[in-house]
C-alpha cells in the first residue's frame, strides 16, 4: 500500500512537471504569434488611432492614423464640433494637414475644442497616417482626445464605415 | 317638206311687215296667247274636253272661243288654250288684259285667268301662271314682299302665291317654301305647318319688327307664356302635336313684346322691365327644326327659345338646329332650350348682351348666352354646341342644366360674364344634385376669358374638360372665384387647359354644400399661372383625386372670409384645406414660383406628393425635412420625396414589368420599353423632358430628352426601347456621366421607328439604366441622394470638384452648395464646414 502510495505520488509529480512544460510551450507560441499580430482578434478590427502628442520644445505634433479599414480603405473623415478636446495647447496655433492623398477641407479649433473634415478623392487608406496636427504647447502634458460619437468615417466606396474602434495608444500603430 | 314650210312662214312674215307698213295700221295685229290649263292634280283636259270664252277686259262684248278663227284648245299645243287677240275685232295694245274662262266638259270644272298683253309676237303662260280648273290647290311655294300690290307682284298670282305679309304666305302655302323679300314686316308670325321653309333675304334684309304690336298668342291662359313669340313654331293644335320639318332662315326678328297696346289679357312681365315677356323666335313641340342665319334682338324674353307647348300631351322638342344666328340685347337668354329630348345642334351663333336686372334682391342680372336642358331624367339632352360666341350676357355664357348627357361644347368663345355674382363662362349642373343627370360631356378648345368663373362642373360626372384657354375677371365683385371648378363632380378628366390672368383660384375641387362628393377626378397637364390664393385648392371633403403633370406658378396672396373666425390667407400652389378628404395625390407636377407654399396640407393625413418638381433640383423647402431646399416650400404632412429636379413633359411608371409583358408605353413621348428576356420583374420609368435636366449638357437645337430607367437590371437580360416618328438618319444618344453623349450601340430603323436594344454588353448597359431617374432632384448638399448630408456627400462633392468623377446632373446640382453654377473645392469646403458644425447653413439653404 505504502509503495503504491509513494510510487503513485512520484508518478504524479513527474506528470505534473511535463504538463507545466507543455503549457509553457503553448503559452510561448501564443505569445510569439500575438507579437506577430496574427492572433489577437482585436487587431483585425478597423481602428482609428489618434496618437499621443510628440513634443519638441514648445511645439507638438499629433498624427491620426487608421488600420484595417474595410471597403478599400478610409477615404473621408469628419470630426464634428467638439469632437476633439485639447489641453495645454494654443488653439490659435493649430495647423491641420492631410497626408497620403487626403485633402483637409475644414477645421476649427476654439478654446479646448476642435473639429475637422478631410477626404481623399481618389482612393482610400486601409492603413496609414492620414492627418497631421501641429500646435504650440502652453503647459505640461498637452493632450488630444477624440469623442468617438462625433466622428464619421467613409470608405473609398463612398459607404459609411460604422464598425470601428478608436485607439489612443500612440505606440499601437508604431508597433 | 320642212324647208317648204319655213319658206312659206318667211313669206308670210315678210308680207305682214309690208302690209303693216303700207296701210294696214288700223287692222289688229295677230297676237296668239297660249295659256296652260290643268286641274288641281296637274292633269290637263283632253283635246275636245274643254271650252273657253275670252275677251279683252276693256271690251268684254267681243268674245272669242275655242272655235273662233285661229283659236283652239289643245290643237296647236297640247293642254293650252290658244287665243288670237288679233281676232277680237278691235285693236289691242300692250298692257291690255285678256280675260279667259274655261270649263272642262266632262267634269264641269271651271277656271279663270287674266293675262296682260305685251308687244311680243306671241305669249306663253305655262303652269303655274296659266289656269287651274276645279278646286285650286294651295301653292307649294309662295312669295312675300312688302312692296307687292295686287297689280304688282312679279310673275306671281296675287293672293294665291304672292302676298304682302309673311303670315298670309305661311297660311296659303302647302309645304315647301315661303320666300320673303327684303323689307320690313310688322307682324307676329306663327308656323304650324309641317315641312315648310320660310326664308328671308338675310339678316337685316328681311326684318320682322314687332314694336308696338299686339303679340300673337297661340293659346290663352296659364300656358300662354309658351304660346307667344315673335315667330312661333308650334305643334299645338296639329294632330300629332308636333311641328316637324320647319326651316326658318334669313331674318331679323326684333322688338318682340315691345310696346304692345295695353292692357291686354296675356301680358306678362315677370322681370318688371316694362317689356312684355315675349320670345323672339319660339319653337315648341318642334321636331327637325332649323333656325338659320337669323338675328333676334331686343325681345322681351329669350331671343331663340326651344321647348314645349304646354297645353299638349307631348311636351318636348327634338332634332333642332340653330346655326349662324345672332341673338343680342334680349331680356333673357340669347338661346334657351328646355324640355328637349336627344341631340341638339347649336353652332356658329353669336349670343351677346342678353341681360336684364334680376328681380331678386341678392342677385344682379339674368340672361345667359346659351342654355339647354333635357326634358326629364329619362329624356336627357345631348348634342353639339360649337363655334359660338357668347359675350357680356347678364349671368352666364353657356349653361347645361337639369338633364343632359353627352353634350360636346367646343371651339366656342365665351367672355365677359361678370355682371352677376354667380356669373360663369361655362356652367353645367345636374338636377336634384344628381351627377347622373349631368354626365359624359366634352368641353374642349373653348376660349373662356374675362368671366367671374371659367368652367364650373356642378353635380357632374364622367366629363372631359380639355384644351380650354381660361382667364377670369371678377368685375365689380370680390376676387377669388375659380378658373375651373369641380363641385360635387366625380370621374372628371381635366386636362391640358391653360389658365392665366386669374382673379382668383385656378382649379378648385370640393364637395358641394349639401355633401355631394368630389372624387376620382383626374387633373392633368394643365398650366395655371398667376392664380390668387391657390393654383389648386382642395376643399370640403374632396378625396381620391389625382393631379399629374400640371404646372402651377406665380400664385399670389389672397384672403378669404376676411374678418371671420375662419379667415384664410394663402398664396399656395396647392392648398389642401383642413376639411379636405384624403388620398388626393400629386405626381409629376411642376409647382414653383408661388408666393406662399408650393403645397400646404392642413389635414393630419400625409399627402402623396412624390415626384413633383418644386422649381429647384434641391427640392422643396421644409424647415426640418429639407432645410436646404431652394424650391417652393411645403408644409408638414407632405410626402415630397423623391422629387424631380426638372420639369417633366410626361412620365409613365410601371412598377412591375416582366419578360412577356406588353410594352410600357409613354404615348406623349412616343417611347415604349419591352422587357425582351430575363429572370424576373423590374420597374420601368419613361420620362420626357422639355429641356435638358439640370446640369446635363444640352445636346443642341432640335434635341429631345427622354429618360428610361429600370429598377432591377439583375432580372433583365435584354430590353428594347422604341422611339416613334423618327427618321432614318436620327441617332439615339445616351448620356453617360464622366463621358458625355455617346450613341447607343444597338439601334435599328424601320418604318419610322428606331429600336434600341440594351443588354449587359451594349452601350448603354442595363446597369447604366439604373439609379435615380434623369431629372431626379436631391437636397442641396445631399449629393448622393440618400436624404442625409454627411461625410459621404463631402467626399462625393470633392470628387466632383477635383474632376475625379463628373457626377450626374442631380449630383452636381446638389453639390453646388454655393450656387455659383459650378462644383469646385469651395463647395466641398463649405459642405465640410456644414457637416462638422462650423457653419449652420448652406449658402442657399435654410437653417439646421
Q: Nearest chain B Cα to A109, which residue?
A: B838
Tell me the helix, strand and coil percentages in chain A, rounded to 5: 25, 45, 30
* In the predicted structure, residue B761 carries a pLDDT above the cut 60: yes
Q: Which residues in chain A are closer than 8 Å to B794, comparing Cβ atoms?
A: 76, 78, 105, 117, 119
What cell does B726 get? 423618327
Q: Which residues in chain A are closer than 8 Å to B838, comparing Cβ atoms?
A: 81, 106, 108, 115
Q: Which residues in chain A are closer than 8 Å to B790, comparing Cβ atoms?
A: 78, 152, 154, 160
Band of pLDDT at residue A10, cut at 50, 70 and 90: very low
* In the predicted structure, residue B2 carries a pLDDT above the cut 80: no
Is the alpha carbon torsion for A33, A37, A38, A44 positive or negative?
A: positive
The mean per-residue pLDDT over the stretch B25-32 comes to 71
Q: Nearest chain A Cα to B793, which residue?
A: A158
* In the predicted structure, residue B557 carries a pLDDT above the cut 90: yes
The pLDDT of residue B223 = 56
Q: Are B731 and B670 in contact (CB under 8 A)?
A: no
**A160:B828 CB<8 A:** no
Pick the residue of A78, A156, A159 with the most B CBs within 10 A to test the interface with B by mutation.
Answer: A78
Q: Which residues in chain A are closer than 8 Å to B799, comparing Cβ atoms?
A: 121-122
The answer to whether A152 contacts chain B (CB < 8 Å) is yes
| More reliable by pLDDT, B645 or B590 | B590
How many Å apart are CA B92 and CA B84, to the nearest integer?
11
Q: Which of B791, B802, B837 sits opposite A154 (nearest CB)?
A: B791
The minimum CA-CA distance between A91 and chain B, rounded to whole Å, is 15
Could you count the other beta carbons within 10 Å of the beta carbon of residue B704?
14
The minimum CA-CA distance between B662 and chain A, rounded to whole Å, is 38
* In the predicted structure, residue B134 carries a pLDDT above the cut 70: yes
The answer to whether A131 contacts chain B (CB < 8 Å) is no
The yes/no answer on whether domain A44-174 falls in CATH 2.60.40.680 is yes
What cell does B708 get? 428610361
Range 80-99 of A in CB contact (< 8 A) with B: 80-81, 83
How many Å apart are CA B200 and CA B196, to the nearest integer?
13
Q: Which of B791, B833, B837 sits opposite A76 (nearest CB)?
A: B791
End-to-end CA distance of chain A: 59
Range 1-60 of A in CB contact (< 8 A) with B: none
Range 751-790 of B in CB contact (< 8 A) with A: 784, 790
Pick the residue of B836, B839, B840 with the most A CBs within 10 A to test the interface with A by mutation.
Answer: B836
DSSP character for A43? G
Q: Which of A77, A79, A121 sits opposite B799 (nearest CB)?
A: A121
**B836:A106 CB<8 A:** yes
Q: What counts of helices (H) and strands (E) characterise chain A? A: 2, 11
* In the predicted structure, residue B773 carries a pLDDT above the cut 90: no
Q: How many CB pairs under 8 A join A and B?
A: 81
The minimum CA-CA distance between A94 and chain B, rounded to whole Å, is 16
Crossing angle of helices B791-801 and B825-836, rounded to 10°: 170
The pLDDT tens digits of the residues spanning B157-198 come to 888 899 999 999 999 998 789 999 999 999 999 999 899 999
The answer to whether A149 contacts chain B (CB < 8 Å) is no
The pLDDT tens digits of the residues spanning B69-91 come to 999 999 889 999 999 999 998 88
Range 812-841 of B in CB contact (< 8 A) with A: 825, 828-829, 831-833, 835-838
How many Å apart are CA B140 and CA B157, to the nearest integer?
13
**What CATH fold (topology level) applies to the domain B779-836?**
Type 1 dockerin domain (1.10.1330)
The pLDDT of residue B695 = 54
Q: Which of A81, A115, A119 sits opposite B795 (nearest CB)?
A: A119
The yes/no answer on whether domain B31-133 falls in CATH 3.10.20 is no
**A119:B791 CB<8 A:** yes
Nearest to A46 by CA among A173, A166, A131: A166
Band of pLDDT at residue B702, cut at 50, 70 and 90: confident
**B804:A121 CB<8 A:** yes
Pick the residue of B791, B804, B827, B848 with the most A CBs within 10 A to test the interface with A by mutation.
Answer: B791
* In the predicted structure, residue B382 carries a pLDDT above the cut 90: yes
* In the predicted structure, residue B775 carries a pLDDT above the cut 50: yes
> What's the angle, vertex CA B164, arms to CA B158 and CA B165, rounded to 5?
125
The mean per-residue pLDDT over the stretch B692-709 comes to 74
**B792:A154 CB<8 A:** yes
**A117:B784 CB<8 A:** no
DSSP character for B767? G
Pick the residue of A94, A98, A119, A160 with the most B CBs within 10 A to test the interface with B by mutation.
Answer: A119
* In the predicted structure, residue B512 carries a pLDDT above the cut 90: yes
Highest mean pLDDT among A26-30, A105-109, B22-26, B511-515: A105-109
Could you count the other beta carbons within 10 Å of the beta carbon of residue B42?
9
Sorted by where each begins, the domain ranges of chain A are: 1-39, 44-174
Q: What average pLDDT does chain B have?
A: 89
What cell does B465 get? 374638360
The pLDDT of residue B712 = 85
- Determine whether A124 is exposed, middle or buried from the number of CB atoms within 10 Å of its CB (0-12, 13-18, 19+): buried
The pLDDT tens digits of the residues spanning B389-422 come to 999 999 999 999 999 999 999 999 999 999 999 9
The pLDDT of residue B364 = 86
How many Å apart are CA A35 and CA A16, to the nearest integer?
28
Band of pLDDT at residue A26, cut at 50, 70 and 90: low
| More reliable by pLDDT, B643 or B433 | B433
How far are the Cα atoms of B39, B128, B467, B591, B619 from residue B536, in angstroms, in the given order? 76, 71, 17, 10, 20
The pLDDT of residue A175 = 29
Q: Whole-structure pTM over 0.95, yes or no?
A: no
The pLDDT of residue A100 = 94
Length of chain B counted residue by residue: 848
Pick the residue of B785, B792, B796, B797 with the most A CBs within 10 A to test the interface with A by mutation.
Answer: B792
The pLDDT of residue A22 = 61
Amino acid at each position: 500500500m505504502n509503495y503504491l502510495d509513494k510510487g503513485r505520488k512520484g508518478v504524479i509529480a513527474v506528470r505534473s512537471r511535463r504538463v507545466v512544460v507543455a503549457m509553457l510551450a503553448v503559452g510561448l507560441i501564443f505569445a510569439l504569434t500575438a507579437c506577430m499580430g496574427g492572433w489577437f482578434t482585436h487587431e483585425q478590427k478597423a481602428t482609428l488611432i489618434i496618437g499621443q502628442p510628440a513634443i519638441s520644445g514648445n511645439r507638438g505634433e499629433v498624427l491620426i492614423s487608421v488600420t484595417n479599414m474595410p471597403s478599400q480603405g478610409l477615404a473621408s473623415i469628419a470630426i464634428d464640433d467638439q469632437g476633439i478636446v485639447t489641453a495645454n495647447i494654443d488653439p490659435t496655433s493649430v495647423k491641420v494637414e492631410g497626408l497620403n492623398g487626403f485633402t483637409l477641407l475644414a477645421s476649427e479649433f476654439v478654446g479646448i475644442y476642435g473639429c475637422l473634415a478631410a477626404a481623399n478623392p481618389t482612393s482610400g487608406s486601409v492603413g496609414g497616417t492620414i492627418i497631421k496636427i501641429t500646435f504650440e504647447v502652453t503647459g505640461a502634458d498637452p493632450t488630444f482626445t477624440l469623442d468617438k460619437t462625433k466622428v464619421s468615417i467613409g470608405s473609398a466606396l463612398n459607404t459609411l464605415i460604422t464598425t470601428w474602434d478608436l485607439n489612443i495608444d500612440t505606440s499601437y500603430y508604431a508597433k | 317638206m320642212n324647208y317648204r314650210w319655213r319658206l312659206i312662214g318667211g313669206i308670210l312674215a315678210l308680207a305682214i311687215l309690208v302690209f303693216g307698213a303700207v296701210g294696214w295700221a288700223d287692222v289688229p295685229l295677230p297676237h296668239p296667247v297660249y295659256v296652260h290649263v290643268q286641274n288641281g292634280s296637274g292633269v290637263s283636259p283632253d283635246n275636245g274636253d274643254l271650252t273657253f270664252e275670252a275677251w279683252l277686259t276693256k271690251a268684254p262684248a267681243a268674245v272669242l272661243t275655242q272655235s273662233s278663227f285661229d283659236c283652239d284648245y289643245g290643237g296647236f299645243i297640247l293642254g293650252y288654250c290658244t287665243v288670237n287677240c288679233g281676232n277680237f275685232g278691235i285693236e289691242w295694245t300692250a298692257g291690255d288684259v285678256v280675260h279667259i274662262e274655261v270649263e272642262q266638259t266632262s267634269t264641269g270644272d271651271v277656271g279663270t285667268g287674266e293675262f296682260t298683253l305685251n308687244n311680243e309676237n306671241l305669249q306663253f303662260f305655262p303652269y303655274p301662271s296659266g289656269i287651274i280648273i276645279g278646286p285650286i290647290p294651295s301653292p307649294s311655294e309662295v312669295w312675300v314682299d312688302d312692296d307687292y300690290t295686287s297689280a304688282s307682284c312679279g310673275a306671281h298670282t296675287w293672293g294665291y302665291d304672292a302676298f304682302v305679309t309673311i303670315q298670309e304666305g305661311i297660311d296659303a302655302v302647302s309645304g315647301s317654301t315661303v320666300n320673303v323679300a327684303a323689307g320690313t314686316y310688322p307682324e307676329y308670325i306663327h308656323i304650324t305647318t309641317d315641312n315648310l321653309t320660310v326664308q328671308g333675304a338675310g339678316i337685316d334684309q328681311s326684318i320682322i319688327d314687332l314694336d308696338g304690336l299686339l303679340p300673337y298668342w297661340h293659346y290663352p291662359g296659364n300656358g300662354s307664356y309658351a304660346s307667344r313669340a315673335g315667330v312661333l313654331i308650334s305643334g299645338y293644335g296639329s294632330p300629332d302635336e308636333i311641328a316637324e320639318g320647319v326651316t326658318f332662315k334669313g331674318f331679323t326678328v326684333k322688338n318682340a313684346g315691345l310696346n304692345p297696346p295695353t292692357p291686354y289679357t296675356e301680358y306678362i312681365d315677370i322681370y318688371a322691365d316694362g317689356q312684355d315677356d315675349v320670345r323672339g323666335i319660339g319653337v315648341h313641340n318642334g321636331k327637325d327644326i332649323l333656325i338659320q342665319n337669323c338675328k333676334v334682338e331686343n325681345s322681351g324674353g329669350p331671343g331663340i327659345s326651344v321647348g314645349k307647348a304646354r297645353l299638349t300631351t307631348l311636351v318636348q322638342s327634338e332634332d333642332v338646329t340653330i346655326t349662324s344666328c345672332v341673338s343680342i340685347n334680349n331680356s333673357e337668354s340669347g338661346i334657351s332650350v328646355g324640355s328637349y329630348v336627344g341631340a341638339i345642334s347649336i353652332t356658329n351663333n353669336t349670343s351677346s348682351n342678353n341681360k336684364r336686372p334680376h328681380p331678386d334682391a341678392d342677385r344682379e342680372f339674368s340672361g345667359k348666352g346659351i342654355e339647354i336642358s333635357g326634358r326629364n331624367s329619362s329624356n336627357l339632352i345631348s348634342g353639339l354646341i360649337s363655334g359660338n360666341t357668347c359675350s357680356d350676357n347678364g349671368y352666364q355664357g353657356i349653361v347645361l342644366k337639369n338633364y343632359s348627357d353627352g353634350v360636346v361644347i367646343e371651339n366656342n368663345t365665351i367672355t365677359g360674364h361678370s355682371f352677376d355674382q354667380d356669373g360663369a363662362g361655362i356652367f353645367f349642373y345636374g338636377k336634384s344634385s344628381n351627377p347622373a343627370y349631368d354626365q359624359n360631356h366634352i368641353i374642349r378648345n373653348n376660349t373662356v376669358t374675362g368671366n367671374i368663373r371659367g368652367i364650373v362642373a356642378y353635380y357632374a360626372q364622367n366629363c372631359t374638360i380639355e384644351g380650354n384657354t381660361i382667364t377670369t375677371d371678377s368685375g365689380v365683385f370680390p376676387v377669388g372665384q375659380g378658373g375651373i371648378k369641380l363641385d360635387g363632380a366625380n370621374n372628371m378628366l381635366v386636362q391640358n387647359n391653360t389658365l392665366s390672368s386669374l382673379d382668383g383660384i385656378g382649379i378648385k375641387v370640393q364637395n358641394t354644400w349639401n355633401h355631394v362628393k368630389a372624387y376620382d377626378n383626374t387633373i392633368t397637364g394643365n398650366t395655371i399661372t398667376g392664380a390668387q390664393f391657390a393654383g389648386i385648392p382642395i376643399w370640403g371633403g374632396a378625396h381620391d383625386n389625382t393631379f399629374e403633370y400640371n404646372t402651377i406658378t406665380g400664385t399670389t396672396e389672397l384672403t378669404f372670409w376676411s374678418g371671420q373666425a375662419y379667415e384664410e390667407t394663402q398664396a399656395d400652389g396647392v392648398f389642401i384645406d383642413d376639411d379636405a378628404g384624403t388620398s388626393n395625390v400629386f405626381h409629376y407636377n411642376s409647382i414653383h414660383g408661388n408666393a406662399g407654399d408650393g403645397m400646404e396640407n392642413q389635414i393630419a393625413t400625409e399627402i402623396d406628393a412624390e415626384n413633383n418638381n418644386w422649381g429647384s433640383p434641391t427640392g422643396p423647402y421644409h424647415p426640418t425635412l429639407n432645410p436646404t431646399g431652394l424650391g417652393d416650400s411645403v408644409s408638414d404632412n407632405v410626402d415630397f420625396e423623391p422629387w424631380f429636379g426638372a420639369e417633366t413633359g410626361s412620365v409613365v411608371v410601371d412598377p412591375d414589368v416582366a419578360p412577356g409583358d406588353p410594352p410600357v408605353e409613354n404615348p406623349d413621348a412616343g417611347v415604349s420599353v419591352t422587357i425582351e428576356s430575363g429572370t424576373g420583374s423590374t420597374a420601368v420609368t419613361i420620362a420626357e423632358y422639355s429641356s435638358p435636366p439640370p446640369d446635363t449638357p444640352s445636346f443642341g437645337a432640335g434635341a429631345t430628352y427622354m429618360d428610361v430607367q429600370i429598377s432591377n437590371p439583375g432580372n433583365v437580360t435584354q430590353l428594347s426601347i422604341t422611339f416613334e416618328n423618327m427618321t432614318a438618319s436620327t441617332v439615339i444618344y445616351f448620356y453617360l456621366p464622366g463621358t458625355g453623349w455617346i450613341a447607343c450601340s444597338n439601334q435599328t430603323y424601320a418604318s419610322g421607328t428606331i429600336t434600341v436594344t440594351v443588354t449587359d454588353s451594349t452601350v448603354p448597359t442595363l446597369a447604366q439604366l439604373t439609379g435615380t431617374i434623369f431629372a431626379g432632384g436631391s437636397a442641396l448638399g445631399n449629393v448622393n441622394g440618400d436624404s442625409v448630408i454627411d461625410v459621404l456627400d463631402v467626399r462625393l462633392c470633392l470628387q466632383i470638384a477635383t474632376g475625379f468623377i463628373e457626377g450626374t446632373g442631380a449630383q452636381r446640382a446638389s453639390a453646388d452648395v454655393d450656387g455659383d453654377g459650378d462644383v469646385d473645392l469651395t463647395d466641398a469646403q463649405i459642405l465640410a464646414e456644414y457637416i462638422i458644425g462650423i457653419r449652420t447653413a448652406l449658402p442657399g439653404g435654410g437653417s439646421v
